[in-house]
Structure 1
């Protein structure tokens, strides 16, 4: 109510001030009364009767309707209501189903995005270590999604990702081959399944002499040594490689018999 006429007296308030439950709002902020007359003195109340002053108008942590009274230098005054809304961003995360490597998990698909919010993805609960591969996570663990509202409110939610390890690698080889150029079973090679990096394959005779060596997973041994056919008998192979999933070295061995 205006108690004395002032030609330049005007109280103008924003209708609603939005904030976060944990930080509240500042009703003394400049934008709240922007457009009002200059050199006004403001008082802040909890009720329309102006009987209860706000204890801390710079840190209002309860939503509701409050009242701001403005007084001019010549004694004019006016009081208007202002609404405070405190809203935390909402995010409901659904843990993804387990997958088996090399399948990956996209944690951006574990919740519904809202257009007014922004999202970040992190490796720690304090949201200080950003994830680079959040759309293709290939390791089990607990990851974290931070949502921020348009008003700066934040919430951090965990999401558990389970990526099962690949099935164990398999290195097998025939125990007999017949290098007689008939087009059937004429060469020897390893059969490898899984995440294995080929190192080298060495083949020895009974005396421990190295008669064949290759670093190529597609190479085949034709039963020759220095361009000559080796006699029928038993030979021994040793394979060295790397399990690229667990990053551990592999050593497998066996025997192969030549039948002519």
Structure 2
């Protein structure tokens, strides 16, 4: 059940006074209720007294033009909801299914009023038909609720106030809404007549419930202050007894005149008039014990003695505040400098805490808090203070706070050469720090020879952080194959990286090709540029020249097949273009000077048949003179 805001109704007065232009709810203070109607409680349905309605009492389902006083609204497709009265088990409400013709559906005389007095009227209304787009022929909204309230004098001839609710539409969930009027009783008038009129016709919609009708006197808001403008005063134990002048300050929002009767109470519940104190001020006696003061306020003196006619000011309380016990320490606190945890103390209810930097005097560093976030190592002092009276504890409670430096670490990624090691460093500059690696070692630095993820917990007096070092292995080169391309040697690897190559083991180059090499056996050296380990491979470099120039100039004077003698089996045969065998060799080094039987052969192309380890190679080369 949802309880919604008060909705104020425009109304008119038949009298002229300082509130004849008021168009909203009472803006001042209400007196005690002179009339309430919550329709009682119980599971049995009841009817209204004779004369209160022209509608038909329904013993079952309330159809158009019918009503019932019931705790049950589970009819048709209405909300099945509780009444408005709080904590009212099986509370009843007035349930109305509007008649097909607009008109009055409720009338009640309210007695016990005072003449020339401003009153407030209020009631709560709920639209019982839920919003449903499929309902009421697809309209969904149906006929809205619209009720007019009228306040008449006891003769039913003078309209004192009236107003309309406006349309109260369907909602998705039950919502009670409050509506009200303000009116002023006429001279010699002690009763009024309340009327409720349905402005809309019945049909699909216009089904509602009403609950909690009340009438109360309405007057100015009247604060009470002492000579220091306090609205309450609490004296600490042992202070000098206190006396002051209290003053009533009406806001004149309702009354044009004010008459007073001051009252006193020892418990704030039972009040007695103070004889002769009828002005807007009151001088208290010497106060040494708890006491409450207030004043009745009326606009007409004749209403002062009638509780149905007067309103009441705010209450001024005087009390004796006990000296609070010093705060109780939870614990001294030691924290890492990146942790967030406050110093805390405990005090009794009604007591707050002020924090200082000294046991007496000193500087106030935080007020009105039982906790304090310290950020500097030291001792802090908590003082208990009564919320009422501001009485302070005799002593302050000392609390020690220590802040320890949290190690600062940075995660790393390191490379390690294959078959080597690397030193891992926690890298902290805190002499008191301790270390624990996931390897079990406890030094600041460790040496590892395997790739992987390494962590170290760095602790400084309880403040622990974790550093992670990822070690990645740099693999040694893996020679896939070595090839001869003409007089060049090409080294191919099966893995990739920043590798260097050499033929002498010392002069390394990043290029994997060696140019202009004579045939023969070579040792190939390969290493990673960042590592020391060298991988070697033996290779016989053999190639067949495409030409030679036997002119005794020292360059290409011979057709040499360097390195062929290094193979386990080999044979070479040289032919002219006519197929004549000119020179041959087997399992030996081979070199030809371009002669046959001591005679120089002419420039021409010559053919070769070379067999190495049973692999046959054929082709031709050129002799140039």
Q: Check whether TM > 0.5.
A: no
TM-score of the superposed pair, with normalisation by structure 2: 0.19
TM-score of the superposed pair, with normalisation by structure 1: 0.38
Greater fraction strand: 2
